[in-house]
Amino acid sequence: MQIQFTRRITWDQLPGELRARIESHLGSRVIRALSQASGFSPGSADRLLTADGQRVFAKAVHPGLSAPATALHAREAAIAAKLPAALPVPQFLGRISWQGWEALVFAEGPGASPQLPWPAGQLERVLDTLAQLAHQAPDSLIELLPPLEEELREDVAGFGRIMQDGWLPADPWVAQNLEELHGLAMDGIGALAGDQLVHSDLRSDNILLGDGGEVLLVDWPWASRGAAWYDALTVLVEARIFDPALDADAIAASHPIFESVGADAVSAVLAGLAAYYVDAARRPEVPRLPTLRSYHAKQAAATVGWLKARLA
């Protein structure tokens, strides 16, 4: 199984004036561009090499391609500028805004995204990094971020919207237990609260693994203040998409990132994720993002399968 990503525009398809402004910002001409296929935005995402040897990553989007993605670029720029260099994040080199275009430039991160299905060693490296990150972010940064429980409150109410609409999920177990699952999902909101840095949108295409063991977490527009183990949970959900037999419960019961988390809290937050994914997967395709709903359906199946096994 592979993730079907949105087809992106490339560096060469950006307006010449925008490319010139990015090159001016870098102080050198771009001599090579390699488009990166991963992600759901239709905007560009390119590894660039400049004439003076700089290796950078640049991405750009315009409201004509996707207004939400353009707003997210602007939001990410504000957050990326505040992320300390000591964190496992790429160095932010700047934002270029021009005639509606939003372009972000970062130092190129080492390595590549994790393999799919997730190898056990790579999964452990990422979870270890998240456990370390939970204690690295300064309070001055955390205080600026929105609370995770508030950011996700509407998302986790998905089963409630499904009941209001009278829509019947295809999974019989979900359809028969909608009211109970909705209550469990809403109970999980409190478990999301905390004072740690949370990426909030973590999956394999937002992770880079270096040959020397480095782990970089990229794409931070949804950064929040909350319970750091939420990121680990979403990574395990993705791992189950590609390996339904993965014993995610054993990992959640033993890894330090989940050390202070009760089993009931894990189940409740999983119910909230299931509520969001099942509700999102039933909705019409998002303009310019033709593969997003199919990925939501995969996330829904993986989350429901795991939750069903836990509650059984």
Per-position b or e across 156-181, b if 16+ CB within 10 A of its CB: bbbbbebeeeeeebebeebeebbeeb
The amino acid present at 259, given as its one-letter code, is: E
CA neighbor of 233 nearest in space, from 270, 268, 208, 198: 270
**pTM reported for the whole predicted model:** 0.93
C-beta of residue 88 within 8 angstroms of C-beta of residue 215:
yes
Contacts of 135 (CB under 8 A, 6+ apart): none
Q: What is the pLDDT of residue 6?
A: 60
C-beta of residue 69 within 8 angstroms of C-beta of residue 206:
no
CA neighbor of 257 nearest in space, from 145, 146, 137, 125: 125
C-beta of residue 102 within 8 angstroms of C-beta of residue 78:
no
CA distance 111 to 168: 43
Q: What is the pLDDT of residue 1?
A: 53
DSSP state of 141: H
Q: What is the pLDDT of residue 107?
A: 96
pLDDT tens digits in sequence order for the chain, 312 residues long? 555 556 789 999 999 999 999 999 999 999 999 998 766 788 999 999 999 999 999 999 999 998 989 999 999 999 999 999 999 999 999 999 999 999 999 999 888 999 999 999 999 999 999 999 999 999 999 999 999 999 999 999 999 999 999 999 999 999 999 999 999 999 999 999 999 999 999 999 999 999 888 999 999 999 999 999 999 999 999 999 999 999 999 999 999 999 989 999 999 999 999 999 999 999 998 877 778 899 999 999 999 999 999 998
CA distance 131 to 253: 14
Q: What angle do CA 205, 291, 60 make, to 5 degrees?
A: 60
**What single string gives the DSSP state of each residue in 233-292?**
HHHHHHHHHH-TT--HHHHHHHSGGGTT--HHHHHHHHHHHHHHHHHHHTSPPBTTBTTH
Residue 57 CA, distance from chain mean position: 18
